[in-house]
A and B are shown apart, each in its own frame.
Chain A
Amino acid sequence: MSRRSPSEWRKLALPAIAFATAAFNRLHWLMALLLLAYLGSNVRRIQPDEVAVVLRFGGLVDGRAAVKEAGLLLAWPKPIDEVVVLPVEKVFEVEVRDLYHTFDSAPSSPLSRNDMNPAKTGYALTADHNIVHLSFTARYSISDPIAFVFENNASDQILRTYVGTEATRIAGSMSVDEMLTNGRADLVAKVKTSVQTRLDAIAAGVELVSLELTELGPPRQIASDFTAVQSAEIESQTKQRKAEEYRASQLPLAKAAASKKILTAKADARRLLAKAKADAEQFNALVVEAKKNSAALRIRLYREALERSLSGVGSLRFVPPPIGLRYDDQFRLTLKGNSQ
C-alpha cells in the first residue's frame, strides 16, 4: 500500500472542511442558543418544600450559607457550580425488618417445630431470654442537608441500624409478657428517643419523625401456645365477671329481703302496741263499769260470750238433769260424727 502525500490528504479533507465551515456559517445562531442554554443550566426554581446546596468546584459556597431556600436560584453551569436539591419537608419511610422472620416468612415454607436459623430469621432476645419478632416503620425527614449528603453516606441506613440496635437493647430489658402486652408503647417511645439521641450524637442530619411498631409477636412455632394463654386469660376473666355478676345480683336481693324483714317487724310491733293500747283502754273502761256493778257486768259479758261461742259450735245437745246426784246406769248418749 503506497503512502499518501500531505497534498493528497488535504484534497481528501477538503469536502469535510467545507461541510464544517458551511454548517458553522449557517448554524451559528443555533450554537449561540446552545451556549445560552448551557450558561442557564443551573438557573432553577427551588420549590417551597425543597432546599438547594450550591457547590463551587466541589466546595460549599460560603460554608453553611450554601444552603439556599425556596425561590429562584442563580448558579454557574457545570463544572463551575453544582446544585444539589433536597426535599427537606418530605417525610421518607424506612422499613426495619432485621428483627423479623424476613427470609423464611413465606406461608408455604416448612416450619420446624423447634428450629430457627439466626442467620436467616431475625428476632430479639427479651430480658427473660424469650424470643420475639419485631418490625418497625421509621419515618424521617432531612434536618441538616449538608450533614445528610456530604457528611454521611446513606443516613437512612444508619437510621435503620440504630432502630435495630435500640430495639435489641430495649427488648433485653423487658420481659416477653411486658413487651407483648402493656409495654408496647413504652418500647416504641424508648427506641424512638434513643435512636434520635444516637443520630444527633453523630450529626446524621436526620430527624426521626415517627416510629411505628408494625409487627410484634412470638415465634410462629409457639404462636398457638401464646394464643392458648390468651384464651385462658379470657376464660379466667369470664369466670370472674360471672362471679361479679352473682355478687351484683345477690347483694341487693339480700339487702331488699333484710329491709323488708325489718320493716315488717316494725309494722308488727306497731300493730301489737296499738292492739295492746286498745285492749288496755277497753279493759280500763270495763274496770270502771265493774266498779259500778260488777255482777251485772259479768252476767252480761258471760251471756254475750256464751251466745258467741255456742252459735258457732258443730252441734248443741241437751240432756235432762239426773234424778238424784247421778245418772242411772241405763242412761246412754250417742254422739254422731267422727269417732275420733
Chain B
Amino acid sequence: MGRTMTRLRIGAGLAALILLLFVAFTQVVKQGESAIMLRFGKPARVLEHPGLHLKWPWPIEEAAVIDMRRHNFHTRHTEMLTADKKNIILLSFAIWSVQDPLLFHQSVGSITTAESKLDGLITNAKIGLLGKTQLSALASTDSDLLAVDTIEDDLLEKIKETALSEYGISIVDVGFNRLSLPKANVSAVLKQMRAERKQFAAKHLAEGEELASSIRSETDLSVAEIEADALEKSATIKGDSEAKAAKIYGDAHGQDPDLYRFLRSLESLDTVLGSRTQVILRTDSEPFELLVQP
C-alpha cells in the first residue's frame, strides 16, 4: 500500500513537472494568429503556422501574438471637396489583415494603432481622388456618369502598396459606406426637397385635372358623334322609306290622276272640318234639298 502511494506521488510530481516544462518551453500558435518570438525583447523569429512550437522559457523568450484575421475598419467624418467644388462627407471602410507580422509588430504594434494609420492613409488618398472626381460619379441619375467601382479600385490601388510596405498590412477591400453632406449644406437640400415636393403636388393636381377634363371632353365628343351618327342613319332610313312610299303612291295615282285629286279633296274635307267648325249650307245644296223637297 505504502509503495503504491509512493508511486502515485512520484507520478503526480512528474506530471506537474511535465506540465511546467510544457508551459515554459512551448508556444501554441492558434489558427488565425501568428507569433513573433522576442528574445530579450528583440524579434528572433516569426511563428506563422498554427500549432505547437518550441521556445526558450521566459524571460529569455516571450511571444507577441498577432491576430492575422481580416478586420473591418471605418474612417472618421472628414469633409472634402469634389472636382466640381461640392463639399461632401464620404465615410469609408477597409477590410484589412496583417500580411507581414514582423513589420506590423515593429511599425504598428497593435490593431488600434494600425487603424489610426489606415485612417490617415485612406483619408489622404481619398481627398486626392475626390479632388479629381465630380459628385455625379457618386450619385447621379445618369448611370454613365457613376464611377463608384472605379474610385474604389483607384483608392485600393493607391493605398495597398504603402500599407504593405510600411505597415505590413494587406488591404483586401475598400469602399464608401456613407455619403453625406455637411450640416450647412443639408439645410439647402431640405429647402430644395420641400420646394420640389410642392411643385410635384401642384403638378399632380394639374395633371389630374387635365386628364379628367380631357376624359370628360372626349366623352362628350363621343356622345355627340354617336348622336349625330344615329340622327344621320335615322334620317337616311326615313328619307329612303319616304321615297319608296312616294314611288308606290306615284305608281298607283298615275293610273287615274283625276280620281286621285277627287279622293284627295274628300280627305281634305275630313281634315278641315272639326268639332269647332260652324257649317252654313243652303237648303237647296245636295243632298240637303231633301230636307225641303222630299
Interface residues of A (CB under 8 A from B): 24-25, 28, 55-60, 79, 98-99, 113-119, 122-131, 146, 149-154, 157-158, 161-162, 164-165, 168-169, 171-173, 175-177, 198, 201-202, 204, 218-219, 221-222, 225-226, 228-229, 231-233, 235-240, 242-244, 246-247, 250-251, 253-255, 257-259, 261-262, 264-266, 268-270, 272-273, 275-277, 279-280, 283-284, 286-287, 290, 294, 298, 301-303, 305-306, 308-310, 312-321, 333, 335-337
Contacts and interface: CB of A to CB of B under 8 A. Distances in A.
Contacts, number: 348
Given A28-B8, A152-B69, A168-B179, A251 B248 contact: no
Could you say which interface size class chain B belongs to? Answer: 35 or more
A229 B191 contact: no
18 contacts: A24-B8, A58-B51, A127-B140, A131-B193, A165-B93, A169-B176, A176-B193, A242-B212, A243-B216, A254-B227, A276-B245, A305-B270, A309-B269, A310-B279, A313-B274, A314-B276, A316-B281, A319-B282
A228 B201 contact: yes
A219 B55 CA distance: 61
A119 B89 CA distance: 9
Nearest to B253: A283
Given A280-B252, A318-B288, A222 B275 contact: no
B64 interface: no
Contacts of A276: 244-246, 248-249
B69 A151 contact: yes
B238 A259 contact: no
Interface in B160-194: 172-173, 175-183, 186-187, 189-191, 193-194
B71 interface: yes
B216 A59 contact: no
Interface in B20-56: 22, 28-33, 49-52
Interface of B: 5, 8-9, 22, 28-33, 49-52, 67, 69-72, 74, 77, 89, 93, 95, 135, 138-141, 143, 146, 148, 172-173, 175-183, 186-187, 189-191, 193-194, 196-198, 200-202, 204-205, 207-209, 211-216, 218-220, 222-223, 226-227, 229-231, 233-235, 237-238, 240-242, 244-246, 248-249, 251-253, 255-256, 259-260, 262-263, 266, 269-270, 273-284, 287-288, 291
